[in-house]
Amino acid sequence: MKAIVFYEHGTLEQVQYTDIPKPEPGPDDVLLQVKAAALNRLDLWVLEGWPGLKLKFPHIMGSDGAGIVAATGKNVRDFQVGDRVAVNPTLSCGHCHFCLTGRDNMCDHFAILGEHVDGFFAEYAVVPARNLLPLPDHVSFAEAAAASLVYVTAWHSLITRGQLRAGESVLIVGAGGGVNTAAIQIARLAGASPIYVVGSTDEKLARARELGADVTINRHKEDWGKAVYKLTNRQGVDVVVDNVGAASYFSSLRSLKRGGRLLTVGNTSGPRFEFDNRLIFGKHLSIIGTTMGPIADYKEVMGMVFNGRLQPIIDTVYPLAEGKTALKRLAEGNVYGKLVLRV
């Protein structure tokens, strides 16, 4: 089958579009005929690698996929050949303390499809049946793939852990990425107000306003930390969504109201930085970190996608053969929403 793989960690130079054997599903798995896959920044980090990440090569890239069940393992009862499905990208054991208490994204054997095991940039993928969600006919494979990882991540962060409530003010640092576009929509849906968004270009900010941002700030034109302070009558906001990290944390913490929460699921500008601890205890702040989301959150947020209350933002759809071009665009960063591969 055709697939986008790499045989060793490194740069985009290592990425190949090639032929590899079709995988075999285990007893609890299905073989998925992939119809669409979506890119995430995670793909680039996995390609680069990190100490402790041990992959079997060639590694098939891609954490987001949707498609049609092509074969089922002998224990699979809930799905049949021909079913259209979306896939929750978080792998969990189903037996550990965390799984049994509904926190399967904290599983002892936590893994992500496309990160620790093979992913979706291929004609076929092996997926545990418990990760599948039936996909209604009116939702495209591209939308399902584009939504899965970023919506479950943003929903778990803002709603389940962040406890975002109607009427609370929110600041989202970053306008264009998949998680941020999802976060703007989810904040809107939750009734948060006002929603402030900091971004790098007027064009991205105009689109953020279309998605539900009330006030946008171009970080190249003004000091956004000061701008938020002024806009909130020196009070700050209830919640900051910051997945930028090193470059933004100081301003994010300063932008919070007393008792405010900083929500984080990642750090696109780097993971290590210093901050003044007096900001944390002196202002009674909480920093709430999460990664991915449990199955219940995946089902809940995808239900919102299926009924149209949340709409995944797709920048461009490329054929699978042009996966490397799509990865290059993601690395360059000039993307609004998701890049999708059509398989």
* Cα radius of gyration (the chain): 20
Q: Considering the complex, what minimum distance in angstroms separates the CB of residue 103 from Zn ion?
A: 9
Minimum CB distance to Zn ion smaller for 92 or for 255? 92
- Characterize the bridge pairing of strands 256-264 and 237-242: parallel
What CA–CA distances, in Å, run from 139 to 38, 63, 84, 306?
Answer: 15, 19, 10, 6
Q: Considering the complex, what minimum distance in angstroms separates the CB of residue 97 from Zn ion?
A: 8
Token couple for 174: 């970053």
Minimum CB distance to Zn ion smaller for 26 or for 191? 26
For residue 145, the tally of other CB atoms under 10 A from its CB is 34
Minimum CB distance to Zn ion smaller for 72 or for 92? 92
Q: Compute the distance between CA of residue 178 and CA of residue 265 in angstroms, rounded to an integer.
A: 12
Q: Compute the distance between CA of residue 71 and CA of residue 25 in angstroms, rounded to an integer.
A: 8
Q: Which of 329, 321, 339, 326 has its CA nearest to residue 18?
A: 321
Q: Considering the complex, what minimum distance in angstroms separates the CB of residue 109 from Zn ion?
A: 6
Q: Considering the complex, what minimum distance in angstroms separates the CB of residue 96 from Zn ion?
A: 3
Minimum CB distance to Zn ion smaller for 295 or for 335? 295
Q: Considering the complex, what minimum distance in angstroms separates the CB of residue 62 from Zn ion?
A: 23
Minimum CB distance to Zn ion smaller for 109 or for 254? 109
Q: Considering the complex, what minimum distance in angstroms separates the CB of residue 93 from Zn ion?
A: 4
Minimum CB distance to Zn ion smaller for 71 or for 96? 96
Q: Considering the complex, what minimum distance in angstroms separates the CB of residue 89 from Zn ion?
A: 15
Q: Considering the complex, what minimum distance in angstroms separates the CB of residue 104 from Zn ion?
A: 6
Contacts of 48 (CB under 8 A, 6+ apart): 9, 10, 11
| Binding positions for Zn ion, rule: CB under 5 A | 92-93, 96, 99, 107
Minimum CB distance to Zn ion smaller for 88 or for 92? 92
State which amino acid sits at residue 142. A
Minimum CB distance to Zn ion smaller for 107 or for 340? 107
